[in-house]
Chain A
Amino acid sequence: MAIMAPGDPGSAGDPSQPTPLLLGPAGGASAGTGGVTGARSLRRMTRAVTSNRKATVGALLLLLFCLVALFPGVIAHDNPQAEIYPRSLGPSAQHLLGTTAFGQDMFAQVVWGTRPVLLIALVAGFGATIIAMLVGVASAFLGGVWDGALGLVTDVLLVIPLFPLLIIIASYLHGAGTTVLIAVIILTSWSYTARQVRAQALSLRNRDFLNAAIVRGERALYIIVVEIIPTMTSLLVAAFLTNALYAVLFSASLQFIGLGNPGVTSWGTMLYWAENAEAFQTGQALWIIVPGLCIVALGAAFALLNYAFDEIGNPALRPVRSMRGKSVKRPG
């Protein structure tokens, strides 16, 4: 299956070689250590985050956004939707970022807007990764016809231009709310990770600890959950971070062109209203600059964490992998 042209480092980017960080100890370990490996690799990751500066910055940024999303009311006291203030005010002590052309407090909008963005990022990132994991592992483990069928679905989804497809679906739905956005993003974005997972699962096929589990007569489900999945922790975490980043970019783009629900306060819809109110021409540059910077900062948090994990896990794979997925999936 050579969607990624063979001879291209992209095909090497599918980590058919397990990452040494996690598999080194697991490979030769005796049967039943799968769970232990999972816990150990999580510990390693925690250590990795604190020892790598990129990871630390990314984690702190993400933590900050999570806090803002959890307690927006503590930070901004205004109702973000209420159109109660004089219009188009500049920044002041009462209105840190000024007010919009509709008389809403812009700071409150930015703060309250964090929640839907983060929700979309985390849920869509998680959902896409889970589907990818199920499809990828099932594909590798069941083999035969199943592998062929699932592989074909994955490959087809991989080459259909996603952003136009998202636009079309969202347009038929007439103003997609947060839930619909999440569902559509999940359904369209799992394919790349599924290929990675399949490749890695295939590379495990003849490992001793798997054969041991099979000989012991463990059930397929046990083998998949306890033996196979823990060895993929680093791949799955990286995939989650990438998928979350794309969910942020995709949803912001859709909301910007008015395909989200414009009534929801979020960074993308702020940009939509700002563009509609011609914020630049009326001297309200902050209305466009600030939500955009927030998107960049949240995206950077995911990207930095991802970058750091790659660096720690397998320096040789890192640049190639980030290349492939990113260039193809970017919303245009």
Chain B
Amino acid sequence: MRFVLRRLGFFLLTLWVALTLNFLLPRMMPGNPALAAIANHKGVISPQALKALEAQFGLNTHQNLVAQYFRYLGDVATGNFGESLTTQPGNSVAHIVLDAVPWTLGLVGVTTVLAFVLGTGIGIVGAWRRGGRLDSLMPPVFVIMTVIPYFWLGLILILIFGVKLHWLPYFFTYNITLTPGLNWAFIGNVLEHAILPAFTLLILTIGTWILTMRNTMITTLAEDYVRMARAKGLPGYRIMLDYAARNAILPNLTGFAMSLGFVVGGAILIEEVFNYEGVGYLLLQAVNNDDYPLMQALFLLITVAVLLAILLSDIAVAILDPRTRGAG
């Protein structure tokens, strides 16, 4: 219990730091960024939004910093993130963000689960046949995978499967000529558009799962109870799955819980490259348009998702693994 409380305390503290960063960063920068935004987008920003922007960034206000800070915290607590300035002028930020979230959850969420399941499976088999062809192939491939920029692999796949072979669409979330609806044509189209970005993400994230699983599996395979199982003459697949994998999977499971937090903000560049209108794409749009209220809300959303996932995985571990409870 004490462990969980400590983690909860840490969660709140980190959340507070993220909020404060969000508040302080624009005020710490040389030349208030809001001034630059107003200068860059004359005419686009409505007088009403301008007022909100000034309040948010501490311009033309007689309030001191502390009062502004508490006002900001109050706004966040009540879910008032203001209006979008330039991306979708006049629309509420919360509304825009909520529109983008499902796309990212669908694309990155499904891919994360897929990468976990496939990667863990390959890791199990790799460790079981240690030194085999699959196993010896993995390390060099993994070295290359860790150094490929996400966005560049996306571009290369676009070149091969989109531009050259014309196999798959690579622009936007669905074909704009279709009207969104619950019919097969539309759903099929959405899936088709998700294949390339999902594949890019899968290639780049699967290696981590393979290697964690393989490594813990190798440690587990050296345990006495595995030797015991062999001595009993159990069939190989049972030793592999019920004895070794079952005990080795805990680290991968907690890693999986954590990686779910990175779903929301984890594929910013892939979404950008494929113009896939999820959270990451929206963030970069906001950045390009100096749409600070939208940008701040998205950063907060991404951070909170990560923090929540870490908190939950900590709690899960505390429940699953009694040894951690005392340690804290």
Contacts and interface: CB of A to CB of B under 8 A. Distances in A.
Interface of A: 2-3, 5-10, 152, 155-156, 159-161, 163-165, 167-169, 171-174, 245, 249, 252-253, 256-259, 271, 275, 280-281, 285, 288-289, 292, 295-296, 299-300, 302-304, 307, 319-320, 322-323, 326-327, 330-332
Contacts of A155: 10, 14
A288 B287 CA distance: 23
Given A7-B250, A256-B151, A332-B267, A159 B216 contact: no
Given A7-B251, A319-B215, A163 B268 contact: yes
29 contacts: A6-B321, A6-B327, A7-B250, A7-B251, A7-B323, A8-B250, A8-B317, A155-B14, A156-B14, A156-B17, A160-B14, A161-B265, A163-B265, A173-B29, A245-B146, A245-B147, A253-B269, A289-B156, A289-B159, A292-B152, A292-B156, A303-B143, A304-B143, A323-B208, A326-B146, A326-B208, A330-B150, A331-B149, A332-B266
Given A6-B321, A9-B251, A332-B270, A159 B306 contact: yes
A307 B147 CA distance: 12
A327 B259 contact: yes
Contacts of B25: 168-169, 172
Contact of A257 (B272, B303, B313): B272
A164 B150 contact: no
Contacts of A171: 33, 287, 290, 295
Contacts of B287: 167-168, 171, 257, 259
Interface string B220-253: 0000000000000000000000000000001100
B83 interface: no
B149 A295 contact: yes
A14 B295 CA distance: 34
B85 interface: no
Interface of B: 3, 7, 10, 13-14, 17-18, 21, 25-26, 29-30, 33, 36, 139, 143-144, 146-152, 155-156, 158-159, 163, 204-205, 208, 211-212, 214-216, 219, 250-251, 254-255, 258-259, 262, 265-270, 272, 280, 283-284, 287-288, 290, 295-296, 298-299, 302-303, 306-307, 310, 313-314, 317, 320-321, 323-324, 327-328
Contacts of A302: 147
A225 B275 CA distance: 51
Given A161-B265, A332-B265, A300 B306 contact: no
Contacts of A6: 317, 321, 323-324, 327
Nearest to B140: A54
A331 B152 CA distance: 12
Contacts of B262: 161, 332
Nearest to B10: A155
A320 B152 CA distance: 26
